[in-house]
């Protein structure tokens, strides 16, 4: 599921949970699904932010000593 689809699904979940006809059981299930989607979206945004930081100034990332496998992949892609 793309980030856009996840955000759309989160919007749908919020709308359903705001509906007074939604049962407690359904609300709990929707909340659980929404929390999982929220975490996925946050993770995606953090990784994307990190990629942008690396692309803007890779030498600065190395100086901070916070290079991980994903950063190395980005460095290799930039050299190509």
What distance in Å separates the CA atoms of residue 55 and residue 29, rounded to the nearest whole number?
A: 39
DSSP string, the chain: --HHHHHHHHHHHHHHHHSTTS-HHHHHHHHHHHHHHHHHHHHHHHHHHHHHHHHH-HHHHHHHT---HHHHHHHHHHH-
pLDDT of residue 55: 82
Per the structure, how many domains does the chain have?
A: 1
Does the structure show a pLDDT above 50 at 79? no
Dihedral over alpha carbons 1, 49, 40, 30 (to 10 degrees):
-100
User: Which domain range does residue 68 map to?
Assistant: 3-79
Does the structure show a pLDDT above 80 at 77? no
pLDDT of residue 74: 55
pLDDT digits (tens, 9 = 90+) for 15-54: 999 998 999 999 999 999 999 999 999 999 999 998 888 8
Mean pLDDT of the chain: 83
Does the structure show a pLDDT above 60 at 78? no
């Amino acid at each position: 599921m793309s980030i856009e689809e996840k955000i759309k699904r989160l919007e749908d979940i919020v709308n359903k949970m705001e509906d007074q006809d939604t049962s407690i059981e359904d609300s709990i299930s929707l909340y659980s699904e929404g929390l999982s989607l929220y975490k996925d979206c946050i993770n995606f945004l953090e990784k994307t932010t990190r990629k942008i930081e690396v692309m803007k100034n890779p030498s600065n990332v190395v100086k901070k000593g916070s290079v991980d496998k994903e950063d190395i992949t980005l460095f290799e892609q930039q050299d190509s």
